[in-house]
């Protein structure tokens, strides 16, 4: 993005945060209606656009519950969630899954690629659900695979790729719908450390292009490469600190990778 295009009059002066959680509670109930677990207890968190944030915390601290709410896979019991400026906490199932498809890209520890399809076909899948015509699907899948450095592997099937290449294909699939947020749950958990490094470099490249990234990790060294580290404890934010990850140049922020 050029300096001229960011001063374009169509650019909002104060864009909404990528995610704004206010007083979020998630309570799991027993069948008799009594409280089983308060997984999130009035959690507040603002994630500005373009931020690269690590979510940490001991097992049971609420990380998956938080990611499920942020990713529109589940709704809070109470509180407000604005995703990219839109209140989503009380949407019905259909509306919530539509928002999820438009605004969220997911990357998992297991790459979850379809083995019978080429990686280009795998990356096209989210666009199929959006009803995008075949020629545009293919072009956007190739663009997305190029962003993650797989432009010379377009016709390979997942088993013909290394673990790191498969995870990069999964990242391309998560990006192809131009999400507001890319969410990754232990994305290097199944990879050796050198390959994990290359995935982190891909995330850093996407961060520099202005994408908002939220990653769950148990590894302090990985978290320290993010821009911000939030640690949960018993369903609330215990620490919220700057990480070592570099803020990209301001003119790149706001562009979606």
Q: Which C-beta is closer to Mg ion: that of 61 or that of 195?
A: 61
Q: Which C-beta is closer to Mg ion: that of 20 or that of 63?
A: 63
What is the C-alpha separation between 88 and 91, in angstroms, rounded? 5
Q: Which C-beta is closer to ligand ADP: that of 150 or that of 232?
A: 232
How far apart are CB 59 and Mg ion at their closest, in Å? 7
Tokens of 67: 């990611």
* Partner whose footprint covers residue 37, from ligand ADP, Mg ion, none (CB < 5 to 8 Å by kind): ligand ADP
- Mask of contacts with ligand ADP, 22-41, x by CB under 6 A? ------x-------xx-x--
Residue facing Mg ion at closest CB distance: 64
Using DSSP, state whether 99 is helix, strand or coil.
helix
What is the C-alpha separation between 54 and 5, in angstroms, rounded? 30
Residue 94, C-beta contacts closer than 8 angstroms, at least 6 positions apart: none
Whether 45 and 231 have beta carbons less than 8 Å apart is answered as no
* Partner whose footprint covers residue 62, from Mg ion, ligand ADP, none (CB < 5 to 8 Å by kind): ligand ADP
How far apart are CB 64 and Mg ion at their closest, in Å? 3
What is the C-alpha separation between 216 and 71, in angstroms, rounded? 13
What is the C-alpha separation between 32 and 93, in angstroms, rounded? 24
Ramachandran class of 33: left when φ > 0, alpha when ψ lies in -120 to 50, beta otherwise: left
Q: Which C-beta is closer to ligand ADP: that of 61 or that of 167?
A: 61
The reply on whether position 57 binds ligand ADP by CB under 6 A is: yes
How far apart are CB 69 and ligand ADP at their closest, in Å? 10
What is the C-alpha separation between 186 and 57, in angstroms, rounded? 12
- The one among 2, 9, 59, 193 contacting ligand ADP by CB under 6 A: 59
Which residues make up the interface to ligand ADP (CB under 6 A)?
28, 36-37, 39, 57, 59-65
């Amino acid at each position: 993005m050029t300096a001229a295009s960011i001063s374009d009059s169509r650019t909002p002066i104060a864009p909404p945060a990528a995610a704004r959680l206010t007083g979020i509670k998630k309570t799991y109930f027993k069948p008799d209606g009594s409280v089983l677990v308060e997984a999130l207890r009035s959690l507040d968190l603002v994630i500005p656009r373009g931020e690269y944030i690590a979510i940490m915390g001991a097992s049971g601290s609420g990380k998956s519950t938080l990611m499920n709410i942020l990713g529109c896979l589940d709704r809070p019991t109470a509180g407000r969630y604005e995703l990219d400026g839109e209140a989503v906490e009380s949407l019905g199932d259909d509306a919530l899954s539509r928002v999820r498809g438009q605004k969220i890209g997911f990357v998992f520890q297991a790459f979850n690629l379809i083995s019978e399809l080429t990686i280009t076909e795998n990356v096209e899948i989210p666009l199929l659900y959006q009803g995008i015509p075949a020629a545009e699907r293919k072009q956007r899948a190739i663009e997305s695979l190029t962003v993650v450095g797989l432009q010379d592997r377009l016709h390979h099937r997942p088993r013909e790729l290394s673990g790191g290449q498969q995870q990069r294909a999964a990242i391309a699939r998560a990006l192809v719908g131009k999400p507001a947020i890319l969410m990754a749950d232990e994305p290097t958990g199944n990879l050796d450390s050198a390959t994990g490094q290359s995935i982190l470099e891909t995330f850093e490249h996407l961060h520099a292009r202005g994408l908002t990234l939220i990653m769950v990790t148990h590894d302090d060294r990985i978290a320290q490469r993010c821009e911000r580290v939030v640690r949960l404890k018993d369903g609330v934010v215990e620490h919220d600190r700057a990480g070592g990850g570099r803020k990209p140049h301001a003119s790149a922020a706001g562009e979606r990778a």
